[in-house]
Amino acid sequence: MRAEDGSDSLDRATQQFMAARPQLFGIAYRVLGSAVEAEDIVQEAWLRWQKTDRAEIREPAAFLATVTARLAINLAQSARMRRESYTGPWLPEPVDTRADPQLGAERAEALDLAVLLLLEKLNPVERAAYVLREAFDYPYRRIAEILETNEARTRQLVSRARKHLAAERKEPVGSSDHRRLLEVFLDAARTGSLSVLENVLAEDVVSYSDGGGIRGASRIPVVGRPRVAKYLAAFAPRFWPPTEVRWVEANGRPAVLVSSDGEPVALLCVDVSVRGIERVMWVMNPAKLAPYVASLAG
């Protein structure tokens, strides 16, 4: 069976591509952790779709998903080397999920910034297998075809990713509890209240500041409740007074956009479990903030 209407027209090709586009971006973004790189992958998939003999394609959406996943894996393999030389901690690029809470997927899995950060420790093929299964609910057989492997191997890849996340991350709380604890944390951070900070932070909390070497962010993660609390309290007097805060949504979770003189300087995101705040993530790199802020205005 050929493409639905048997037509090879560019109009029909455009319709098919645009129908699949949210899913294509969702796959690429989860594999890469970068909205900018995901857009590049989607654009490359569109160029390939135009050049393809579409009359021979039975399932356009499946074909486009396969192309996108393979392109994303290839780019992720080279991105690993770039991120190893990245100045300071690397955090995923945030995305605004208000219009599309699932970001093109069946489920909003592998979308939280903390999960994307942990998935970065897996190899790109493991990451893609996990994303296609957990977020997009692809059958193992279909994932195996995309990854050009067998079904047994695919099950191993997904299982390994699940075990990695289970070992590295505590069960997150719901959105309302997440927001409540972030509110308490934000107030304590702005006032430099050491006791309150220590009360809301998990014992082995980690604070990551991604400035990409551009801003005066910490170039190493700060680890442990006492150190993170003291670190936050110490810079409170010079960081917070000239700023304004705005509550936003990033990657399906409440977050805080911090601005100074109308210019965004940081996006504050946290990973919260029943133990308290497990990870504090400061996205300060202007190259990562700008697309996110632009999406809020759009």
Per-residue model confidence (pLDDT) at position 1 = 31
Q: Classify residue 50 by its DSSP letter.
A: H
Cβ count near 262 (within 10 Å): 6
Give the mean pLDDT of 19-32: 98
Q: What is the side-by-side strand order in the sheet with 253-260?
A: 222-223, 201-210, 276-283, 263-273, 253-260, 243-250
CB 72 within 8 A of CB 27: yes
pLDDT tier for residue 213 given thresholds of 50, 70 and 90: confident
How high is the pLDDT of residue 106?
95
Return phi, psi of residue 248, to 5°.
Answer: -135, -175
Listed residue (6, 201, 234, 213) closest to 89, CA to CA? 213
Nearest to 92 by CA among 146, 147, 35: 35
Average pLDDT across the chain, whole number? 93
Q: In whole angstroms, what is the distance from residue 156 CA to residue 251 CA?
A: 27
Please state the φ and ψ torsions of residue 186, each to the nearest 5 degrees: -60, -45
Segment 123-127 shows an average pLDDT of 96
Per-residue pLDDT tens digits for 258-274:
999 999 999 999 999 99
172-205 pLDDT, tens digit each: 999 999 999 999 999 999 999 999 999 999 999 9
Q: Across residues 48-72, what is the average pLDDT?
A: 94
Do 255 and 249 meet the contact criterion of CB atoms below 8 Å apart? Answer: yes
Q: CA 179 to CA 170: how far, in whole Å?
A: 17
Tell me the whole-structure pTM to 2 decimals: 0.93
Quick one: tokens of 286?
């202007």
